[in-house]
Amino acid sequence: MARPSIVPIALTVDDRTGFTLWAPPWEEDGEEWQAFLGTSDDDGTAGSARVHLFPTPAALAAFCRTRTDHDLADHPVWPVVVGLDAADLTPDDDHRYDLDGVYDIAAEDPDRWAVEELAADIDIVTRLAECLDSGDDTGEDTGDDDESDDERADDARDDDDIELERRPGGAAGDGEFGALAELVARPEIGSLGLGVEAFLGRSGEDAWAGVGAALDDLWEDVIEELGAHLDWTGGGTVGLADYPPAGEADDDYEDEDEDAEDAAPAARPAAGATAAAAGVSTIARPGRLSAPESEVAKAAEFWEAVGILPVEIVVPEGAGVTLRCYVEDRARFLGRDGEVFLFPSPAELTRFCRGEEAHDLTDIASWPEVADTDTPPLPADQDRYDLTELTEVLAEVSGGAAGLVDHQVLAQQVEGVRDVAEYAGLIRVDELLRSDAPLGRAVARSERVPDTPLTAEDAATLRPAWNEVVTAVSGALVFRD
């Protein structure tokens, strides 16, 4: 049974970014529940349910500290959320959804990032619809009986229960979300859940074109349907003038993060993983890379073409960037004799690549192109592995932040660890990640049921094993000037 948790998210709609909270599905009394921070009127009329949105995580945190007139007030984890600050309520980049950008993504080539981002955007809209639709078509028998709509609503929930629920058997898009129902029924849209493999070859090209056509036909209507349920006043605490344009909001908050770090160590976001924020790709830790998302995307075209990708690794000793490719499905890094070379900046890495020093990527067929390129080696977010972040997350969860971090926080960092261990021959890391070891079991759980929250007991068990993994990986890294 999944334990309840609450995750901060950001939605970008109509050139405006709003921050709110999402309670992912959990089971209670044999039923599945799901909710967003908002309110529902008792009359069940169209558009009566609202999700509160805020211009900054700080405004969201202030609301959480002072208000209980909303549908998450009775959530089991709410007492923890009340004590969180803006840094804790800043969405990790996996939970930022740019609903304005879907047309641009569909116009790109169907690489894994485009497919995953589109799938995530449609998924969050579907979840919102499941919670917000006041229609009575929930997959249950709603025949002509003597029970009124209000009575059925009372049966579904008590006044003290979470009201923005995901009703068991409910179909996203019924009632007020007809355009969304039509969109998700398109087979090409369903193929997004299969990953990039569904869009390979000639048939895949046709399917990707079908995704774009479906969005052209219906996405504007989907956003209009959703917009009727978005409260941009934060429950009456803010005004529209408090929202800068979406791109400026990201830049402004990045500056706030940097200022906060100068003053004191930053708290880690509650939900864990990392990926691309709308507009800017940053890592708010001194010594880590920061580059505009547009530059990262442009550089990725070259690196994907040569089959060698920039990678960032962060360990307690420092952070650095290197290169990685796969030869017969085995990871191979820029390094030698099982040691991975890390460089403090893309510029330093580029200078090394232009030199004559021997290393394990020299015999890769595309290496001459790498040695000759002016394209900066900027890692994409999925190729960044901050091992210290997971160390801190496990410490926080074991110290009492349970219920706010899911098992999926393990996935990306372990992916990087496995590659280094394979290249460097780190037998001890392999042992710690075996399926019968505690850490290995947790990793397997992150793959099967990633939304399962980490408990304090989980984190306390995993901490020493993860620390041992980080120590072993650190020993295989060589920091170069």
pLDDT of residue 250: 54
Provide the residue type at 191 as one letter: S
Mean pLDDT of the chain: 80
Q: How much is the pLDDT for 308?
A: 95
Positions of the chain with pLDDT lower than 70, given as ranges: 1-4, 28-30, 41-47, 134-175, 247-289, 401-404
Whether the Cβ atoms of residue 334 and residue 325 lie closer than 8 Å to each other:
no
For residue 378, the one-letter residue type is L
- Residue 10, H or E segment: strand 7-13
* pLDDT of amino acid 409: 87
List, for residues 403-430, the tens digit of each pLDDT value.
Answer: 667 888 898 999 999 999 999 999 999 9
For residues 454 and 450, give the distance between their C-alpha atoms in angstroms, rounded to a whole number: 10
- Which of 46, 2, 27, 9 is CA-nearest to residue 273? 9
pLDDT at residue 157, rounded to an integer: 34
Q: Residue 200 and residue 191: Cα distance in Å, rounded? A: 12
H-state helical runs in 397-480: 411-424, 427-432, 438-448, 456-475
For 231, residues 6+ apart whose C-beta sits below 8 A from its C-beta are: 38, 50, 51, 52, 53
- Structure tokens of 185? 């029924």
Q: What is the pLDDT of residue 46?
A: 52
Collapsed DSSP state (helix, strand, coil) of residue 85: coil
**DSSP β-ladder status, 309-315 and 318-327:** antiparallel
How far CA 258 is from CA of 113, 131, 199, 251, 265, in Å, comes to 27, 36, 39, 11, 10
**Is the whole-model pTM more than 0.95?**
no
pLDDT in tens, 9-67: 999 999 999 999 998 887 766 677 788 999 876 554 555 789 999 999 999 999 999 99
Question: How far is the C-alpha of 165 from the C-alpha of 271, rounded, in Å?
Answer: 21
| Interatomic CA distance for residues 288 and 276, integer angstroms | 15
Scan for tokens 């009727």, then name that residue.
Answer: 228
**pLDDT at residue 175 in the model:** 67
Reported as a single tens digit per residue, the pLDDT across 177-192 is 899 999 999 999 999 9
The pLDDT, as a whole number, for residue 445 is: 86
